[in-house]
């Protein structure tokens, strides 16, 4: 579907300020909503909200449906009676500019266990009724997830393929016994999900009331060590012991001689199609319950995907395989409606088949300005090459900040950017924000780091680096009134004051009537490195 002309900011909730070592869904999230309103922005984009595991990546979660308990606001939980204020006074001193995940996880695990125990012992009647309604509504994923997490705890965090054989294979007797033996732990996990969803839905309602839509993120692949793969092994290429036979990745290219071996299990799309893509429909329905717009990460995988034998150490020995294609999106439309509010992350090895799939279902594609200035005037990421039905970003969570990118870019790239933008580059982050806002693209989004003109020290993720990612945080009061005023001026100047009820123009896209040529190696879309 086409979106109204609008703009917004990218900021993951973990990056918000707050005194508990990590951003959460409480007062500072509501403060960010107010900032967006003052800045006359109507979009807030977040990364996946699922519970993270080793490496703390939101793109490798224990569930495609669950929320991350680390995002639960202790203050809001106390206001709801799930914690006491004495519990909160025990919070340790934690940094305000970085997330120290190890310390945060240890502190919050104890705090949330106390909340669950308090609820189990003396739940207010109204909250208990709300909890039971939540459990019933979300049972289709919550029952498996809560058991999965309880079993992980019982196995000291070991991945599910290392559990007892009967539990690995979900033998009915073993599962029934586990539900009895771990009933308290299952109840605790279910309650934490209740708290997360209660707080998130309250935050989203406040954002929507202020005219702000939430853009979520849905990775195409799921983590191997997840409730999804454990509970639905038939949907994935696994052997009899539950080990992947093939895994996801991307082929060798200009940036990597051996490609990238991501390691996620691959879908048996033929099995999913025979079932009417029911698991995927449930997943997308859950995403649309959380978000107003869903960005699908690695959209090209629906047209074709790179299959790597699981015993290969690199991705070089892989092959291209066909994805589910149009049949998948027809099934989504039948189940969820004709107008799918999707941003298709179509970066990387884009082929005519990928573009045709995107355009057949009128999905919004992506442009990244940091990719625009290598390769000359025909680079498809330059604003004059856009059609209107796209979302333009100054950079994404996988990019350096714009200031960091510009400082490290080749001299020729910097020179072309200066000439194209007609700017010196001294204020390059805002130069790109202006280029995005003034472009014909219906949607324009900038990471908050670019609003603050921060350097590489504020980068969110370095793909391929196993540790040290996802930890940047915004300090309280770092976003100031002058930032809001500057964004508001641009939103007004470039006609991005749309509300969610506005309709896009019916005029044909401007520019690029023909498909743009493939970029050169140097301008290749920096084929998306993954976690």
pTM of the model: 0.93
Range of the domain at 118: 6-493
Position 407 in a domain: yes
One of 297, 346, 400, 413 is an active-site residue; which one?
A: 297
Q: Of 526, 343, 353, which is closest to residue 442 (Cα–Cα)?
A: 343
Domain count, the chain: 1
Position 369 in a domain: yes
One of 217, 225, 292, 345 is an active-site residue; which one?
A: 345
Dist CA 268 CA 394 (whole Å): 35
Give the number of residues written for the chain: 531
Position 516 in a domain: no
Number of Cβ atoms within 10 Å of the Cβ of 10: 25
Position 198 in a domain: yes
Catalytic residue flag (residue 96): no
Position 271 in a domain: yes
Position 503 in a domain: no
pLDDT in tens, the chain (531 residues): 999 999 999 999 999 999 999 999 999 999 999 999 999 999 999 999 999 998 999 999 999 999 999 999 999 999 988 999 889 988 999 999 999 999 999 999 999 999 999 999 887 788 899 999 999 999 999 999 999 999 999 999 999 999 999 999 999 999 999 999 999 999 999 999 999 999 999 999 999 999 999 999 999 999 999 999 999 999 999 999 899 999 999 998 766 789 889 999 999 999 999 999 999 999 999 999 999 999 999 999 999 999 999 999 999 999 999 999 999 999 999 999 999 999 999 998 899 999 999 999 999 999 999 999 999 999 999 999 999 999 999 999 999 999 999 999 999 999 999 999 999 999 999 999 999 999 999 999 999 999 999 999 999 999 878 889 999 999 999 999 999 999 999 999 999 996 555 555 554 433 333 333 343 333 343 444 444
Catalytic residue flag (residue 478): no
CATH number (domain holding residue 58): 3.20.20.80
Dist CA 529 CA 70 (whole Å): 26
Q: Could you give the residue ranges of the DSSP H alpha helices within 210-325?
A: 227-231, 269-274, 278-290
Catalytic residue flag (residue 275): no
Q: What is the pLDDT of residues 345-403, one digit of tens each?
A: 999 889 999 999 999 999 999 999 999 999 999 999 999 999 999 999 999 999 999 99
Position 379 in a domain: yes
Dist CA 24 CA 431 (whole Å): 31
One of 398, 400, 431, 442 is an active-site residue; which one?
A: 398
Each residue of 327-351: b (16+ CB within 10 Å) or e? ebbebbeeeeeeebbbbbbbbbbbe
Q: Determine contact, residues 25/199, Cβ cutoff 8 Å.
A: yes
Q: Of 374, 400, 373, 405, which is closest to residue 521 (Cα–Cα)?
A: 374
Residue 302 DSSP SS3:
helix
Contacts 24+ apart (CB under 8 A), 175-178: 175/147, 178/147, 178/150, 178/151
Position 518 in a domain: no
Number of Cβ atoms within 10 Å of the Cβ of 284: 20
Strands of 443-447's sheet in order across = 342-344, 293-297, 213-219, 43-45, 6-10, 443-447, 390-393, 365-368
Q: What is the pLDDT of residues 203-226, one digit of tens each?
A: 999 999 999 999 999 999 999 999
Tell me the CA distances in angstroms from 166 to 147, 174, 436, one per residue in order. 14, 6, 54
Tell me the CA distances in angstroms from 187 to 27, 143, 228, one per residue in order. 27, 10, 19
């Amino acid at each position: 579907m086409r979106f109204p002309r609008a703009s917004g900011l990218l900021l993951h909730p973990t990056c918000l300020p707050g005194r508990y070592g990590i951003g959460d869904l409480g007062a500072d999230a509501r403060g960010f909503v107010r900032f967006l309103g003052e800045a006359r922005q109507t979009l807030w984009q977040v990364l996946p909200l699922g519970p993270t595991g080793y490496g703390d990546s939101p793109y490798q979660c224990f569930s495609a449906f669950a929320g991350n308990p680390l995002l639960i606001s202790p203050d809001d939980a106390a206001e709801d009676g799930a914690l006491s204020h004495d519990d909160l006074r025990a919070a340790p001193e934690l940094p305000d500019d970085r997330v120290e995940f190890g310390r945060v996880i240890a502190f919050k695990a104890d705090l949330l266990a106390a909340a669950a125990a308090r609820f189990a012992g003396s739940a207010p009647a109204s909250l208990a009724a709300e909890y039971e309604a939540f459990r019933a509504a979300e049972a289709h994923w919550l029952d498996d997830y809560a058991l999965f997490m309880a079993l992980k705890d019982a196995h000291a965090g070991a991945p599910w393929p290392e559990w007892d054989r009967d539990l690995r294979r979900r033998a009915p007797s073993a599962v029934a016994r586990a539900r009895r033996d771990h009933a308290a732990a299952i109840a605790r996990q279910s309650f934490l999900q209740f708290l997360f969803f209660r707080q998130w839905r309250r935050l989203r309602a406040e954002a929507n009331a202020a005219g702000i839509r939430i853009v979520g993120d849905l990775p195409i692949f799921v983590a191997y060590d997840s409730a999804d793969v454990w509970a639905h092994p038939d949907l994935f290429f696994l052997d009899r012991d539950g080990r992947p036979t093939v895994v996801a990745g991307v082929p060798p290219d200009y940036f990597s001689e051996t490609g990238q071996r991501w390691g996620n299990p691959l879908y048996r799309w033929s099995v999913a199609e025979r079932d009417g893509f029911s698991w995927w429909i449930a997943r997308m329905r859950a995403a649309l319950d959380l978000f107003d717009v869903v960005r699908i990460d690695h959209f090209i995988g629906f047209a074709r995907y790179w299959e790597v034998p699981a015993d290969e150490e690199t991705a070089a020995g892989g092959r291209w395989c066909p994805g589910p294609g149009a049949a998948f999106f027809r099934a989504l439309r039948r189940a969820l409606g004709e107008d799918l509010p999707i941003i298709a992350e179509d970066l990387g090895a884009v082929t005519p088949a990928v573009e045709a799939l995107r355009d057949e279902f009128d999905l919004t594609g992506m442009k990244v300005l940091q990719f625009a200035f290598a390769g000359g005037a025909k680079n498809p990421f330059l604003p004059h090459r856009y059609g209107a039905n796209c979302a333009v970003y100054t950079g994404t969570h996988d990019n350096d900040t714009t200031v960091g990118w510009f400082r490290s870019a080749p001299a020729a790239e910097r020179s072309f950017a200066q000439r194209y933008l007609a700017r010196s580059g001294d204020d390059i982050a805002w130069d790109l924000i202006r280029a995005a806002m003034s472009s014909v693209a219906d949607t324009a989004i900038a990471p908050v780091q670019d609003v603050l003109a921060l350097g590489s020290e504020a980068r969110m993720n370095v793909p391929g680096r196993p540790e040290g990612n996802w930890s940047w945080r915004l300090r309280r009061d770092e976003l100031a009134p002058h930032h809001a005023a500057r964004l508001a001026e641009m939103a007004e100047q470039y006609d991005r004051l749309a509300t969610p009820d506005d309709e896009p123009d019916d005029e044909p896209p401007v520019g690029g009537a023909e498909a743009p040529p493939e970029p050169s190696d140097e301008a290749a879309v920096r084929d998306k490195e993954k976690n």
